[in-house]
Amino acid sequence: MPKRKHVTTALSQWMNGTGPDSDVVISSRVRIARNIRNLPFPLMANPEQSNSAMEQLLAVADNGRLNGLGKIEQIKLSELTELEKLVLVEKHLISPNLANESRNGALILSPHEDVSVMINEEDHLRIQCLGSGFQIREAWDSASKIDDIFEEQVDYAFDEKHGYLTSCPTNVGTGIRASVMMHLPALVMTGQINRILSAVTQVGLAVRGLYGEGSEATGNLFQVSNQITLGQSEQEIIENLFQVARQMIEHERSARSKLLSESRLRVEDRIRRSYGILSQAIIIDSKEAAQRLSDIRLGVHLDLLPEVDGLVLNELLVTTQPGSLQMTYGDAMNAEDRDRSRAEMIRSRLATIS
């Protein structure tokens, strides 16, 4: 079976680092959860019912209503290998839940991978729109338009009192999850991060790691998202996240300025040490790689490593993950194999930009 470009191309366009405030915000995402009226939710559906949901939702793509996204690709999860599904998870194009429960699961992808529509995940339909940098309002606009297209063709499960009905009670109401992926190394290094994150949670937002709920915030990457979907309008949810994220961006920039003015030599030494280790390491695990790549990213944005291209760092966020490593090197790998290949990949990429 030929490899699909979505699993062989490392970098999605939304990770290209060209969006606004990309020195702090890696990406913005809005996800909308919907279900079809009179069909059991995916976790309770039998094969015939989940297949009916899949056919109804794929029909929206078949009838041309999504042509504004470009040449979309429809992928049935049953057609993918476990490795291909893992790569799609690492690129944030599908959830781990969809990868693990792929019976009658499907995916609709835009050419630039900034729109990912998951079918038969925890809900029948999950529309995901992603943008480079701080573009949460724009991501919401895109997701809302796609939601309107599906709603014209599909009868959603909706209650006048509670709003859109979802498998998980925490999504009932608007059904939207909005998030920004932020790189906050200076707040961590100056010891301010716990105070900032505590304040964030007090205004109804959640903070998670790179891969969402249950994941660790490695590499100083924090995903900040709304927790409340019921009792607020979509616009209120988006604006609350926008305003809080804007303040966090300014706090991070202020902390970076403080590091430069008060501890420049120590900061530059740390950044150069990480660069040296990554340039020479023979083996490196994913946690250390993430931390040292975080140091280098900080160095790029502080203009302490002007010779390094930040786009390569975004690429390495994906290509150093287990699935992508195995896809690149073409072999099943144990942990030591991955650590060796990860180090080789990083050395190779840094050598091309220095």
241: annotated binding-site residue? no
Provide the token pair at 138: 């724009």
65: annotated binding-site residue? no
244: annotated binding-site residue? no
28: annotated binding-site residue? yes
83: annotated binding-site residue? no
Q: Which stretches within the chain are classed as H helix? A: 5-8, 47-62, 82-90, 96-100, 136-153, 185-189, 193-201, 234-280, 286-301, 310-319, 322-329, 335-351
* Number of C-beta neighbours around residue 202 at 10 A: 8
212: annotated binding-site residue? yes
315: annotated binding-site residue? no
C-alpha span between 57 and 119 (Å, rounded) = 7
C-alpha span between 97 and 345 (Å, rounded) = 28
C-alpha separations of 250 from 139, 165, 197, 268 in Å:
21, 37, 14, 22
C-alpha separations of 251 from 184, 239, 244 in Å:
9, 18, 11
In a 13 Å sphere around the CA of 269, the CA atoms on its Cβ side amount to 4
Maximum Cα interatomic distance, the chain, rounded to a whole number of Å = 64
Close Cβ partners of 148 (under 8 Å, ≥ 6 residues apart) = none
Nearest to 268 by CA among 306, 316, 217, 310: 306
213: annotated binding-site residue? yes
92: annotated binding-site residue? yes
31: annotated binding-site residue? yes
178: annotated binding-site residue? yes
C-alpha separations of 90 from 60, 70, 213 in Å:
27, 23, 14
C-alpha span between 26 and 24 (Å, rounded) = 6
189: annotated binding-site residue? no
The H or E element that residue 163 is part of is strand 163-164
102: annotated binding-site residue? no
C-alpha span between 37 and 35 (Å, rounded) = 6
64: annotated binding-site residue? no
- Collapsing DSSP to helix, strand or coil, 117 comes out as strand
354: annotated binding-site residue? no
Contact 308, 294 (CB under 8 A): no
Nearest to 69 by CA among 9, 16, 114: 114
Binding residues for ATP: 27-31, 92, 126, 177-181, 208-213
Binding residues: 27-31, 92, 126, 177-181, 208-213
